[in-house]
Structure 1
């Protein structure tokens, strides 16, 4: 049956269109993968998925194009996407929906439209990432643990130093150590300049009798990129 269909000129024309759509999906899928890799943290499997996804979506759309089940098929295609290997960050979600949009457009025959849109989107994303659009000014947040003797009053002990070296500071916790002979203070500060961290610690060592001071990054719960 397939051989009898191939001899028809109309079907031959549709095969040429099919090959054009497939090649367009592959090329634009590679474009999405390359743009996603530009100045971004990524995994090999994820970028391969971005490159292949337009062709897979195109297959689904072409099989049901002109059918009442198109809406159901599109919904099913979206439901098959899982963010398991890579966390669904904003840039990952953008790249996935871009890939799916390419598959939807090529599956419906809008090859030239999606090619133009993809080039514009690619240039726009490269431009935004090149100029570091939306990036916040990096600030040095630190969690400082200070050990002081029990006979030293800790309220307002380091406030003048924090006003000099930090934008903000707060005393998060106080606990006793070494059978109650020492206090451990835990501060959270935002340094004005990360290069002055050593100066701040040296000034604090003078006041706590050169006891232990630990400065580290603030622990936060963040999703993987």
Structure 2
């Protein structure tokens, strides 16, 4: 009787109605998996409330969708097309966040197909590996500290073409001008370089040498900026 309440009006004899207890079991497991993944992401990573809340429910959402299109090839193709049109319009996202989303969707898909044990196993193993990689700072390396973005402010009457080349060659392995813009109503230029230091400990010496050349105007050195797509 309870299952009849959840039958669709377009059901046929070839359609298998998912039992309510099975449906609730899969969704419940997916929600628990979502909490595991969200907790793992929160443990050693900077996060926003909206992102981890979405991450916690995403496996359940995917699980429900997969259960609804089970054994229906046409609906499955339609859902795949709909997912391909989804764009996450939010603050710029990192590769780590995209990976977390794919992991949540993958575990939700496994749970939706009924493999609850494998879904938990995937969440625990891959969530644990993610925690481990973040804990040991995997991929950071010593070279990461050498990659910097340099901002130099100069007067408008100073020809910036090659003006700092001699200093940069002394303290950096490579350097490249990535942006030149005017500031302070055109009375100043702001140059932006991507540089690779020869020695991370010589950063202050580089700044002091540049200050003598740009008239002691503003100079800043920061972690090298990268362009990332919007999530």
TM-score, normalization: structure 2?
0.68
Aligned equivalents of 2:72, 2:156: Cα separation in 1: 76
- Offset from partner CA, 1:9-66 (integer Å, 9 cap, x none): xxxx933322321221001011121222233333211211111111122222222322
Aligned equivalents of 1:30, 1:94: Cα separation in 2: 16
SS at match of 1:144: strand
Matched length: 208
SS at match of 2:111: helix
Aligned to 2:110: 105
Unaligned runs of 5+ residues in structure 1 are 7-12, 175-182
Aligned to 2:27: 22
Decide whether the 8 Å contact of 1:28 with 1:118 is kept in 2: yes
Cα 1:2–1:163, aligned 2, differ >3 Å: closer, same or farther?
closer
SS at match of 2:44: coil
**Of 84, 89, 96, which aligns to 1:91?**
96
Give the greater-gyration-radius structure (CA): 1
Aligned to 1:144: 152
Aligned to 2:219: 215
Decide whether the 8 Å contact of 2:149 with 2:225 is kept in 1: no
Aligned equivalents of 1:75, 1:145: Cα separation in 2: 50
Aligned equivalents of 2:221, 2:86: Cα separation in 1: 35
Decide whether the 8 Å contact of 1:142 with 1:191 is kept in 2: no
Deviation at 1:146, TM superposition (A): 5.1
Decide whether the 8 Å contact of 1:46 with 1:86 is kept in 2: no
Cα 1:42–1:73, aligned 2, differ >3 Å: closer, same or farther?
farther
Decide whether the 8 Å contact of 1:169 with 1:187 is kept in 2: no
- Offset from partner CA, 1:45-104 (integer Å, 9 cap, x none): 121111111112222222232223342254155236431124353222222222222222
Aligned equivalents of 2:171, 2:69: Cα separation in 1: 65
Deviation at 1:185, TM superposition (A): 9.7
1:165 aligns with 2:134: no
- Offset from partner CA, 1:146-175 (integer Å, 9 cap, x none): 56998xxx978872x54543334568899x
Aligned equivalents of 2:102, 2:178: Cα separation in 1: 42
**Of 205, 209, 213, which aligns to 1:199?**
205
SS at match of 1:82: coil
Decide whether the 8 Å contact of 1:32 with 1:50 is kept in 2: yes
Aligned equivalents of 2:179, 2:52: Cα separation in 1: 44
Cα 1:205–1:30, aligned 2, differ >3 Å: closer, same or farther?
closer
